[in-house]
Amino acid sequence: MAFKKSAVPFSGTPEQEEKLKAVIAEHKDDPGALMPILQKAQDIYGYLPIEVQTMIADAMEIPLEKVYGVVTFYAQFSINPKGQYKISVCLGTACYVKGSGDIFNKLQEKLGIGSGEITPDGKFSLDACRCIGACGLAPVLTVNEDVYGRLTVDDVDKILEKYN
C-alpha cells in the first residue's frame, strides 16, 4: 500500500508542541475528546501530519489508527498543509456540468498530486470545493484570492504559469 505521508517535511516548532500539549491536557479526560483535540491541533499546525497525530495518539494512549481513522473520516481535517498557492476547483453542480471535473483532472495530472495534497516543493496544493457563489462564471477555480472563471481545460497551463 502507498504510504500517505505528507510530501512536505514536518516543520513544527517547540511552541506549537507546547500549545498542543496544553490542549490535550485540557481535554484528555473528556468523553469524545479526540474531535476537539484534533480541531485545535489543526488550528495550531494548519494540518494534521503523522507527527502531530502520533503525538496525540501517544498522549491519549490510543492507537494511531484510531486518530487516523477519525482524521480521514471528516472532510474538515487535512493530513497535508496548504501550499503557497492554494488552488480550489469548484465541483458544485453548475461548475461541474460546465466541465470543472475535467479541469480538476487536468490539474491533478499537471501537478502530479491528488485532491487534498500538496506538491513536494510546497508551492501548490489542490482541493475540490463546493459552490463559491460565482455560478455565472462557471466553471470556476480560485488560486488563493484570485478567481478564474469561464474556464476550459486549455486555460490550466496559463494559470499555473502565472504562479511559477
Contacts with another protein by CB under 8 A lie at 1-5, 50, 53-54, 62-69, 72-73, 79
CB of 111 to another protein, least distance (A): 21
Q: Which is nearer to another protein, 79 or 95 (CB)?
A: 79
CB of 117 to another protein, least distance (A): 13
Name the E strands within 84-123: 85-90, 117-118
CB of 160 to another protein, least distance (A): 27
Judge whether 111 and 163 are in contact, CB under 8 Å.
no
Q: Which is nearer to another protein, 67 or 107 (CB)?
A: 67
Q: Which is nearer to another protein, 4 or 110 (CB)?
A: 4
Give the dihedral of Cα atoms 56, 78, 10, 103; nearest 10 deg. Answer: 170
DSSP 38-82: HHHHHHHHSS--HHHHHHHHHHHT--HHHHHHHHHHSTT--SS--
Q: Which is nearer to another protein, 29 or 75 (CB)?
A: 75
Amino acid symbol at 157: D
CB of 125 to another protein, least distance (A): 18
